[in-house]
């Protein structure tokens, strides 16, 4: 099971790296820019998680295959972006799968270190979303997590479902499936039907 999760983790990194490279294509960057944005998107969330958890060397330093996947994805998108950009909505669904996976793997790693439910959920959300935050900031865009899209909410719900079931004694595979399914379903509703959280609406100022 751990080997299966590891393979899914690599796939998730590749998906997020692809989303970063596509953003670079819209900004008309060179191939170095593609590789940079793809890499920070793919491994950014996990890097911040490991640093905050005090894990010493972050995961991609001991397992450089993650960085190589990001760079390879960036190069591939540089040469194929004209064909992939027309299918960006498909990538949104793949990104939703990556979000659902990373909120689970990030939360479980935090649980191993801290044993805390709140910390695990927060770390799950950070793992799933902060790579995209770094990508959007570097590309001068409003981070997706700060828009009205249902994004961080889906990651939080998935991480909570996973860790809650683990702490209640459920088999890990059931907890992981429930966490993944919860996050993906919530994000899918947002993508498919345009459902979003309510936003603040300004009102005319009051004279004092």
For residues 139-151, average pLDDT: 84
Read off the pTM: 0.88
Per-residue model confidence as pLDDT tens digits over 85-125: 666 676 778 778 889 989 998 999 899 999 999 999 999 99
Q: With 90 as the cut, is the pLDDT of residue 44 above it? A: yes
**In whole numbers, what is the pLDDT of the chain averaged over residues?**
88
Q: Which residues, other chains included, contact 172 with Cβ-Cβ below 8 Å and sequence gap of 6+? A: 1, 166
Q: With 80 as the cut, is the pLDDT of residue 84 above it? A: no
Q: With 60 as the cut, is the pLDDT of residue 208 above it? A: no
> Of 43, 50, 34, 56, whose CA–CA distance to 10 is shortest?
43
Residue-range domain boundaries for the chain: 2-193
Q: Which residues, other chains included, contact 50 with Cβ-Cβ below 8 Å and sequence gap of 6+? A: 58, 59
Q: With 80 as the cut, is the pLDDT of residue 20 above it? A: yes
**pLDDT band at 202; cut points 50, 70, 90:** confident
> Of 147, 47, 63, whose CA–CA distance to 106 is shortest?
47
């Amino acid at each position: 099971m751990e080997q299966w999760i590891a393979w899914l983790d690599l796939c998730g990194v590749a998906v997020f790296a692809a989303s970063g490279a596509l953003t670079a294509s819209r900004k008309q960057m060179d191939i170095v820019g593609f590789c940079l944005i793809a890499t920070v998107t793919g491994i950014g969330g996990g890097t911040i998680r490991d640093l905050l958890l005090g894990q010493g060397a972050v995961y991609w330093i001991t397992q450089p295959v993650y960085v190589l996947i990001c760079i390879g994805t960036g190069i591939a998108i540089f040469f194929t972006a004209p064909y992939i950009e027309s299918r960006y909505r498909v990538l949104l669904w793949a990104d939703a799968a990556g979000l659902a996976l990373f909120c689970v793997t990030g939360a479980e790693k935090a649980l191993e270190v801290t044993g805390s439910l709140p910390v695990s959920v927060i770390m799950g959300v950070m793992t799933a979303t902060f790579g995209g935050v770094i990508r959007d900031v570097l590309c001068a865009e409003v981070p997706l997590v700060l828009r009205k899209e249902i994004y961080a909410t889906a990651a939080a719900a998935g991480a909570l479902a996973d860790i809650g079931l683990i702490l209640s004694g459920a088999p890990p595979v059931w907890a992981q499936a429930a966490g993944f399914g919860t996050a993906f379903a919530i994000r899918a509703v947002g993508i498919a039907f345009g459902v979003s959280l309510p936003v603040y609406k300004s009102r005319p100022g009051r004279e004092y």
